Amino acid sequence: MPSHCPARVQKNGRVRLSEASSPKFETKRVTATNLGGPIDLDKTLLSGQVFHWTRRADGSWSGLLGNEAVVVSEKNENLVLHQGPDDRVVRHFALDHPLEEIYAAFPEEPMSQSALAACRGMRILRQPRWECTAAFITSSMKQVAHIRSMSLAIRSRFGEAVDGSDINAYPPFEVLAKATVPALRECGLGYRAENLLKTARLLADGTIDLEAIAKQPTARLRQTLQMLPGVGVKVANCILLFAYERLDAVPIDTWIHRILLAMRKGRKGTPAQLAAYAHRRLGPYAGYVQQYLFHHARMAKRGAALNPASVFSVPFDSHAPARLALRANLRWSISKAPAFSIVVKTAGCGATSPREARHQK
DNA sequence: CAGGTC
DNA sequence: GCTGG
């Protein structure tokens, strides 16, 4: 692709954002009728599955798909493509995922239904394998915002400029394989630098081929991925879900861990037992359910900081009306659906404050 | 204290 | 055990 053209993009990255959105780029409208279902772009790109996209003042999003600049926005719940290769963009945003079928498979359980009501339209992307693998190797014990800053730092330092984009492409593993631990640490990786470097080298010398292993069944693929340094069971599940379209894979991080405990009314268990429970309880699209629960819980906490009463003192049952209204006429203009409470011990439908929940842990 | 790993 | 939002 044309990524070797001399970049019009300066190093300071402050390139003609206005030009990228100027009328010289034809605006194509991707409608639900010809290309699949609707999408909630904000929720999709803010849910911590991909980290380099930037929301602009006008609400559109700019990012990269491999080595190609992409600009998209949302209109009437449809994806609007302003710039980028349409076929690949549509595939990336997974507009063919059968959302209604997926929603029908969501568990009849208050937290899942609450998350569904709040996050309708959020899609799980089909991400490039290496970029996704690398991003989640750097993710351990990091906040989403910092994973993003590490990704951008690595792109800026090691990646190639992309015509029409203000950020660089993610460097191929062949490039990172030749990097050094100190250089990677300067991108903010800390102890993760060594893992990313070792993984890049394993891929560069052909020990593991991220494309070739895609045909492995999920359990085996998970084991294969865990051969990479820095990839444990949680990160492996993230890669399975976000880069190998294994929609039943359930990454269990601290958020999902707490939520699963709440679903089990506080009953603990080994990691394997919780994973088994998650698959039983969350169903065939467990990975989708997981992503909705994750994003909703994070947003609920953010809201709680602003207005604690509005989020955490809502009993589960109070969501029922909104839920029913939703199902009645599949409209999803609910951007302010009530959040669920995360409680470890639920006595009836009593509200539990976040502080109490924490103490009960 | 944070989307864990070894 | 690294490190920043």
The C-alpha R_g of chain A, in whole angstroms, comes to: 21
Provide the residue type at A143 as one letter: Q
* Chain B positions with a protein C-beta closer than 7 Å: 2-6
Distance A188 CA to C2 C1' (A): 8
Query: Among all chains, which residue has been given the structure tokens 């631990």?
Result: A181
Nucleotide nearest to A143 (CA to C1'): B2
Q: Where are the domains of chain A?
A: 129-243, 254-357
Distance A186 CA to C2 C1' (A): 11
Query: What's the pLDDT score for residue A1?
Result: 33
Q: Residue A229's closest CA among A192, A199, A184? A: A199
| Residue A138, CB, strand B, below 7 Å | no
Counting Cα atoms < 13 Å in the Cβ hemisphere of A288 gives 27
Helix or strand (DSSP H, E) at A281: helix A271-282
CATH class as words, domain A129-243: mainly alpha
Provide the residue type at A126 as one letter: R
Using the C1' atom of nucleotide B3, identify the protein residue whose alpha carbon is closest. A253
Distance A144 CA to C5 C1' (A): 10
> What one-character-per-residue DSSP string does A61-102 give?
EEEEETTEEEEEEEETTEEEEEES-HHHHHHHTTTTS-HHHH
Query: What's the pLDDT score for residue A342?
Result: 32
Query: What's the pLDDT score for residue A36?
Result: 63
| Residue A124, CB, strand B, below 7 Å | no
Distance A322 CA to B4 C1' (A): 36
Nucleotide nearest to A51 (CA to C1'): B3
| Residue A46, CB, strand B, below 7 Å | no
Q: Where are the alpha helices (DSSP H) in A129-267?
A: 129-137, 144-158, 173-176, 181-185, 192-204, 218-225, 233-243, 254-263
Query: What's the pLDDT score for residue A323?
Result: 34
| Residue A71, CB, strand B, below 7 Å | no
Query: What's the pLDDT score for residue A303?
Result: 74
| Residue A48, CB, strand B, below 7 Å | yes
Query: What's the pLDDT score for residue A35?
Result: 59
Query: What's the pLDDT score for residue A330?
Result: 23
Nucleotide nearest to A257 (CA to C1'): B3
Query: What's the pLDDT score for residue A338?
Result: 33
Query: What's the pLDDT score for residue A301?
Result: 84
d(CA A316, CA A131): 38
Local mean pLDDT, 10-residue blocks, chain A (361 residues): 31 29 48 66 97 96 96 93 94 96 97 97 98 97 95 97 96 97 95 96 97 98 97 97 98 96 95 96 98 96 58 36 30 30 28 33 27
Helix (H, G, I), strand (E, B) or coil at A304: helix
Query: What's the pLDDT score for residue A305?
Result: 59
The length of chain A, given as a count of residues: 361
pTM: 0.80
d(CA A25, CA A81): 10
Residues with CB under 7 A from strand C: A 141-143, 145-146, 149, 185, 188, 190-192
Query: What's the pLDDT score for residue A354?
Result: 35
